Structure 1
Amino acid sequence: MRFTVLKFGGTSVSTAARWATIADVARARREEGLRPVLVCSALSGVSDALAAAVDAIGAGRCDPDAVVAAIAARHAALAVDLRVDLACCETDLDGLLRVLRGATLLGEAGPKVRARVMSAGELLSTRLGAAYLASRGGIVPWVDARELLEAEPAAGEARHWLSATCSFGPDPDAVRRLSADADGWITQGFIARDAEGATVLLGRGGSDTSAAYLAARLGAVACEIWTDVPGMFTANPRVVPGARLLRTLEVDEAMEIAAAGARVLHPRCLAPVKAARVPLLVKCTDHPDLEGTLVTFDGSAGAAQVKAIAVRTGLVLVSLETLGMWQQVGFLSDAFAVFKAHDLSIDLVSTSETSVTVTLDPAANAVDAGVLARLEASLRTVCAPTIVTGVASISLVGRGIRRILHQLAPVLRLFEEQRVYLVTQAANDLNLTLVVDEDQVDRLVVELHGLLFAGKARDAVIGPTWSELFAPPQAAPGRRIRRRDAPWWVSERDTLLALADRPRFVLHGPTLDRAAASIRSLSSVDAVYYAMKANPHEDVLRRFAAHGLGFECVSPGEVAAVERDVPGIALERLLFTPNFASREEVAAALARGLRFTLDNLHPVEQWPELFAGVELNLRLDPGRGRGHHAHVRTAGAASKFGISTDQV
């Protein structure tokens, strides 16, 4: 018997349309001569609701009947859409109510209770799924995952109940059981049993891991992860619409991308399929015909190249400083023992002769303010710790990173004016990671992706962009589509063609009006000034003046141009922002009463008498600049513009 294991996540099991897709996919696998084993998550949002109920027990404010009524209503609505009877869920709903009532009465909200409560989501969704598949004429029996997966012994109560692991060697008993006459089987992700038969959870990403465990134990021909995106991409498509589909990845690369922050797969699901050499395929439930991503075991998969940019946010950076660590035996052991004592797992590590810097990932650790305060106090016994929050990692992932470091030089220039807290290069040569301020990450990823992947031809690894996969239907030949959001030069095509008798520079008045009105609508801005250097055309100036904009001028000539083209403009609407102007120009502007912006300390240091009693605007340098090239960045260490914060 040849098995294939298919995992369907929370969004994939939450609507009737997606269950129809699940049924179609299962039928297609049977027609290929395979026995499908469907591993399903709880309905989207149900696990969060159950977790919140357990939290409410701990806070003394849980209403078990209200919780179960809400969960039942959610499943009843889906049952109606699936045209099945909710009676199939009554046993599990009654069991959930009993557990919640007992736990609430005793005020018990420990890990064991949490595991029992949260297992209900997967049990309920698969009850509905089994009933639906039976209504479609298939013989797809429901099987309890706790009868197929037994957790290994684990140290610590939380890990035992909430982050269990299972062996993934061959399981002849499971093969015999699931070889019984049936069209397939449906079971739960996320849950298993311990040696005593009690329910345990497999932790975050548990359904992916359940599918991988079962695929390995059954010796399946494939493990398919069906989710809401059509595979793994070169970056997060929600940040970079031009992100490219990764058609194939070697398993170690996929594991690195997942561990570095991509959320399509959980890293724990890859070890079992790697050990059993079961190919893994990532597919999209809403678009089952898209090719997806195939994870294989060919360690020589192509030339050295960056294949993805992965991000993790919300990291905590801990710096350990001490002169005493130099050549001291056991310092790292002593320092890391402190983290272990606080049940904290270290992620990235960078060392020098007098300091060690590490990061903590909140996905693997509880890192609230109380935990960090206790950690800092304990670390003071061995070093001088500094804790920084609000940082994120950006990882360039791919095989053979060390061999292409010279090619990455232009890419790394993007970090020129960033505060880089830590740089690591993976021992397995699969990633280069930089830790920076979290608020810079999205912009950096967009720019990095442009440098690494823009214009890259499709091949066996790099596929189409997200935008290409989900582009709107093309118009029929000869028919033009006009959209409200089309650029003005599209809607004004005929007018522009009529002006094309000679080279022209054309500005669109209504677009300028919309831009001015939009920025004037900002309630948080006191005044808006148009930079004359952008375009000093007289019609542009008059149009913006009519919208109430002021004008920033960098020279006496620009001041004169505004006053000529916008007669009678008030002086308070003129902002004079010179850069290294002469004493005469500065004195003339101040004598006229122009609003004056100081962008360096030279004028007040050299001619303090000119500024006595004058109200000034200050141009501050925030320490980092933006722009596609160093020559157009007007802030940062290399810029001549602005007053640095340490000079204020």
Structure 2
Amino acid sequence: MKVLKFGGTSVGSAKNINNVISILENYAKKDSVICVVSAVGGITDKLLLAGKQAQLKDTNYTESFNIIKDIHFNIVNELNLDKSSPIIAFVDARLNELKSLLDGIYLINELSPKTSDKLVSYGELLSSYIIAETMKNRGFSADRKNSQELIITNSNFTKAEVNYSITNKNIETYFNTAKQSITILPGFVSKSVAGEETTLGRGGSDFTAAIVAAALNVEQLEIWTDVSGMFTTNPKLVKQAYPIEKISYQEAMELSHFGAKVLYPPTVQPVLNLNIPIHIKNTLEPEAVGTIISNDAFVSSSPVRGISNISNIALLTLQGSGMVGIPGFSKRLFETLSQEKINVILITQASSEHSICLGINETDAELAKTAIDATFENEIALNKIDPIIVEKDLSIIALVGDSMKNHQGISGKMFSTLGKNNINIRAIAQGASEKNISAVIAEKDVKKALNTLHEQFFESKTKQLNVFITGVGNVGEKLVEQIKQQRKYLKENLKINLRIAGLSNSRKMIFNEDGLDLSDWKDQLASGETASLEGFFERTKSLNLRNSIFVDVTANKDVAGLYAQYLRESIGVVACNKIACSSDFENYKLLKRLSLKYNAPFLFETNVGAGLPIIDTLGNLIASGDKITSIHAVLSGSLNFVFNNFDDTTKFYDVVKQAAAEGYTEPDPRIDLSGVDVARKILILARESGVEMNLEDIENTPFLSDAGLKSDSVADFYDTLIADEAHYQSLYASAKAKGCQLKYVAQFNNGKASVSLQEIPSDHPFFNLKGKDNIVMFYTQRYPEQPMIIKGAGAGAEVTASGLFADIIRIGND
């Protein structure tokens, strides 16, 4: 004999009921079958709503009733039954009874627990009758037995306790004589010894099935639902979650207690001692393996078997110096909650005995506060303890696994993983059995927490990075294309799952928490929402994705001004924008401090030398204990390109225009040609060397004409280049006469820095620097005479994008 239970979704439509009938038909070919069914999906909630509306004199209860009526008759009509079937008459009669009951609640203005049990019982009584009569109508050997005639309880309405001696005898007697192959039982419903209608509590249909399975000592209990078993975590929040093939009773109960809705915790009790396995199956995918719950030993690759959570939690804190060393506070606290029938989900107390924290359902929070404050009224008046503190909008997350106690470092991994993603923990609880570790966090962080922990404990060490890029012009476009090209390689070889979750230019912005489709990102962006810098930050923050990285591919001061906000939200920052790191020294240090405090990487390798590893190399020298004595560098690929292509056969205006067209200069070439850009770069290197310095401390000797320096716009500036051609030719002629090359050089020595155009002789390392190349020479205590030299392309969209990409990958490898 088999016992199967089908949940509300499984019987929620005519189509799904037909699936259930097909499953039962296959089982009945081999053995007799007992089928326990829930109410049609959502009906129990609708019944409670209608009852509450009637109690409150809200005439909308009739509308709620009509919705319930329509749902059932629509299902009956779609089942295409024979006209002679008694279903319609039965359903109509039961619904008329239901309407009369609701009218009565409306008239007397009262909904007692006893009446509530009678009210909600209609859901299962209707669904079970419809399914049984449909099967009989189609020629199956099927019948319905009302569970209220089998399961006998006490009179604790809404959550009655089963009298097993009477119940087990009833079940055995009935099924020893039952002739039909398929028996349909309504779940959830029961009757008291006095004959009053009772229910077994929410989730009680699972309980009904377990009671029957235990009474008949069947080989296995099957619970059919709308998912393929118990998952490693909530698959609606974590797409990488997968079904657990085998799990112990204890693990299943822990996961169920902490929010895994597939199984109702009391379900396990009747079958636990008899070691009857429970098989969770999917009605919509009957061939799926599902999850088997049993006491059998099995080997797992991970000590953590699942991650679960309970939402809508309130945290109550009872604290005060008058509690220390005084017995009885806990007893009085829990007695108060018990008297108010408030369930305690989590308990934690510090060894100082100064406070006790309790996690309860948020709906009970105000009642709990009122009751506890009344209980401790005297102590509060004497300032021995504080009034109860209530925190809302919280959730409990829990790691569960029988083997966790045998593995060191599980809790350490859990809390460090959450901490790295700016998920604050309000309270922690771990039982002595060490089968679960629970933490209270903000409700808004649940999705991020579950994804982060699942990645840590269940995925093949693949780290997901969620990138938000502002500025998709020349460099930004190249970066997006590089990411698109390399995603598969990163995932397979570096175990980095890199997704672009947000893109913005100066006009439009787009977001997708599952990652943008990069095949047509330009079209998506063109039809995106209106862009704003604050709006981009707020959306990035509200998506609250793990391992989020903001990438600034602009030269915009306002964008740089938002770095601190991103870092405070534990969102990493990768920037080619030099403004932040060359801003006031206090702001630079603030960003560094925020990066450390909030564990948010702040990388800006492309600030100096585009894709060259200049800042990284400098950082490694300093970290290893070396000290920078001086730096000599050509740091502007733009200026190097200009002076390598300018001579007495060209015009300075034409060369600058060419540099701008090929993407070697900023949109405003004055930033490059005035020396400001180079000054910012040497300033950043000086600061990274450990020197406190500001931009105004750097000596900048300009080579532009006075008119060029004073130009009011980019267009005016280009006009001055034409007008002042003789000035620039004189610079070239002077260098040529001495056999020198013109190079724009940055220097840092003895705490001072300067930038200027210099005539470089032929025996100098800078002389043969070609094209847009950069070169940096680090003189240090370890490299006092022969410097460490870094040389290569220092400008261009491709190499700058690759430098940004390298910083992103560096975060992924962290």
TM (norm. structure 2) is: 0.58
What is the Cα deviation at residue 441 of structure 1?
Answer: 1.9
* Partner Cα separation in structure 2 for residue 301 and residue 253 of structure 1: 14
Aligned match of 2:152:
150
Distance 1:435 1:288 in 2: 36
Structure 2 unpaired stretches of 5+ = 82-86, 380-384, 463-479, 487-502, 504-517, 541-548, 560-575, 584-606, 609-635, 639-662, 701-710, 713-806
Q: What's 1:132 paired with?
A: 134
The code of the aligned residue for 2:11 comes to V
Q: Decide whether the 8 Å contact of 2:417 with 2:456 is kept in 1.
A: no
**What do residues 241-279 of structure 1 show as CA deviations (whole Å, max 9, x unaligned)?**
111210011111111111112111111111111133221
Which residue pairs with 1:554 in the alignment?
580
> What's the Cα RMSD here?
4.2
Q: Confirm or deny: 8 A CA contact 2:256 2:263 kept in the other structure.
A: yes
> How does 1:374-523 map onto structure 2 within 5 Å?
374-382=371-379, 383-384=385-386, 385-406=388-409, 409-416=412-419, 417-455=422-460, 511=521, 514-515=524-525, 518=528, 520-521=530-531
Counterpart contact for 1:64–1:97, Cα < 8 Å: no
Q: Which moved more, 1:211-220 or 1:320-329?
A: 320-329
Q: For residue 123 of structure 2, what is the amino acid of its counterpart? A: G
Aligned pairs for 1:268-307 (under 5 A) are 268-298=266-296, 305-307=303-305
Q: How does 1:45-60 map to 2 (within 5 A)?
A: 45-60=42-57
1:332 to 325, 330, 333: 330
Counterpart mapping for 1:568-607 below 5 A? 582-585=693-696
Q: 1:343 to 1:492 in 2, by over 3 A?
A: closer
Report the residue type matching 2:141 in the other structure.
I
Can you list the C-alpha shifts for 1:550-576, whole angstroms capped at 9, x where unaligned? 977335696998994313899xxx9x9
TM-aligned CA deviation for residue 59 of structure 1: 1.0
CA distance in 1, matches of 2:98, 2:535: 53
Hey, what's the Cα distance between the residues in 2 that align with 1:427 and 1:317? 22
| Shift in Å, 1:18 | 1.7
**Cα distance in 2, alignment partners of residues 236 and 377 from structure 1:** 39
Please state whether the residue corresponding to 2:104 is helix, strand or coil: helix
For 1:580-625, what per-residue CA distance to the aligned partner results, in whole angstroms no more than 9, with x for missing partners? 7734449999xx99xxxxxxxxxxxxxxxxxxxxxxxxxxxxxxxx
Q: Which runs of 5+ in 1 are unaligned?
A: 154-159, 458-486, 494-506, 542-549, 594-627, 634-648
Q: Is the 8 A contact 2:153 2:192 kept in 1?
A: yes
Distance 1:514 1:552 in 2: 29
Equivalent residue for 1:174?
171
Q: Secondary structure at the match of 1:12?
A: coil
Distance 1:80 1:488 in 2: 55
- In structure 2, the CA distance between the partners of 1:130 and 1:586, relative to structure 1 (3 Å rule), is farther
Range that drifts further, 416-425 or 126-135: 416-425
The residue that corresponds to 2:612 in the other structure is none
User: Hey, what does 1:567 align to over in structure 2?
Assistant: 668
What is the CA–CA distance in structure 2 between the aligned matches of 1:526 and 1:172, rounded to whole Å? 66
Q: Structure 1 residue 341 and structure 2 residue 334: aligned?
A: no
Q: Distance in 1 between matches of 2:368 and 2:353?
A: 25
Amino acid at match of 2:340: H
Which residue among 192, 195, 199 is the counterpart of 1:194? Answer: 192
Residue in 2 that maps onto 1:12: 10
Change (3 A) 1:178 1:522: farther
Matched residues in 1 for 2:519 and 2:239: separation? 30
- Structure 2 CA distance for partners of 1:442 and 1:554, relative to 1, 3 Å: same
> Relative contact order: is structure 1 or structure 2 higher (C-alpha 8 Å, sep ≥ 6)?
1
- Over residues 125-175 of structure 1, what are the superposed CA-to-partner deviations in whole Å (9 max), with x where a residue is unaligned? 11211121112211211111100111135xxxxxx2111121446723322
Higher alpha-carbon deviation: 311-320 or 173-182: 173-182
Distance in 1 separating the partners of 2:555 and 2:62: 70
Does the aligned pair in 2 maintain the 1:315–1:392 contact within 8 Å? yes
**Residues of 1 paired with 2:278 and 2:481: CA distance?**
46
Task: Report what 1:323 is aligned to.
Answer: 321
**Amino acid of the structure 2 residue aligned with 1:269:** T
Structure 1 residues 167 and 306: alpha-carbon distance in aligned structure 2, compared to 1, 3 A threshold: farther
Give, in whole Å, the separation in 1 of the partners of 2:424 and 2:62.
Answer: 52
Offset of residue 297 of structure 1:
1.6
Report if aligned partners of 1:39, 1:188 keep a CA contact under 8 Å in 2.
yes
Matched with 1:265 is 263
Shift of 1:435: 1.4
Q: Could you say which residue in structure 1 is the equivalent of 2:102?
A: 100
For residues 698 and 334 of structure 2, the distance between their equivalents in structure 1, rounded to whole angstroms, comes to 62
- Please tell me whether the aligned partners of residues 256 and 262 of structure 2 are also in contact (alpha carbons under 8 angstroms): yes
Q: 1:165 matched to which residue of 2?
A: 161
Output the CA distance in 2 between the equivalents of 1:115 and 1:520.
Answer: 53
Checking the alignment, whether the CA contact within 8 Å between 1:315 and 1:360 is kept in structure 2 is: yes
Cα deviation code 1:174-229 (max 9, x no counterpart): 22312321012111111111122111121111111111112112222221111110
Given that 1:324 and 1:354 are in contact with CA atoms closer than 8 Å, whether structure 2 keeps it comes out as no
Matches within 5 A, 1:107-126: 107-126=109-128
Question: Counterpart of 2:353 in structure 1: which amino acid?
Answer: T
TM-superposed deviation, 1:294: 0.5
Q: Tell me, in whole angstroms, the C-alpha distance in 2 between the residues paired with 1:56 and 1:509.
A: 52
1:381 deviates by 4.1
Determine the C-alpha separation between the residues in 1 that align with 2:670 and 2:309.
50
1:249–1:301 CA contact under 8 A, matched in 2: no
Q: Secondary structure at the match of 2:345?
A: strand
- How far, CA to CA, are the matches of 1:283 and 1:402 in structure 2? 30
| One-letter amino acid matched to 1:412 | F
Aligned residue in 2 for 1:74? 71
Give the Cα–Cα distance (whole angstroms) in 2 for the partners of residues 456 and 31 of structure 1. 46
1:61 corresponding residue in structure 2: 58
Q: Distance in 1 between matches of 2:274 and 2:241?
A: 31
1:48/1:70 CA distance change after superposition, 3 Å:
same
Q: How many residues align?
A: 530
Q: Distance in 2 between matches of 1:387 and 1:267?
A: 27
Q: Which residue of 2 aligns with 1:496?
A: none
Identity rate of aligned residues, in percent? 23
TM-score between both structures, scaled by the size of structure 1: 0.72
Higher alpha-carbon deviation: 168-177 or 103-112: 168-177
Q: Which amino acid aligns with 2:281?
A: K
- The one-letter code sitting in structure 2 at the alignment partner of 1:361 is I
Match of 1:367 among 350, 364, 368: 364
| Distance in 2 (alpha carbons) for counterparts of 1:149 and 1:391 | 38
- Deviation sequence 1:508-538 (CA, Å, 0-9, x none): 896367458646446973999x999755799
Please tell me the residue identity of whatever aligns with 1:161: F
Mark the CA change 1:26 to 1:536 in structure 2 (over 3 Å): closer, same or farther: same
Opposite residue 311 of structure 1, the aligned amino acid is: N
Deviation at 1:306, TM superposition (A): 0.5
CA distance in 2, matches of 1:395, 1:124: 37
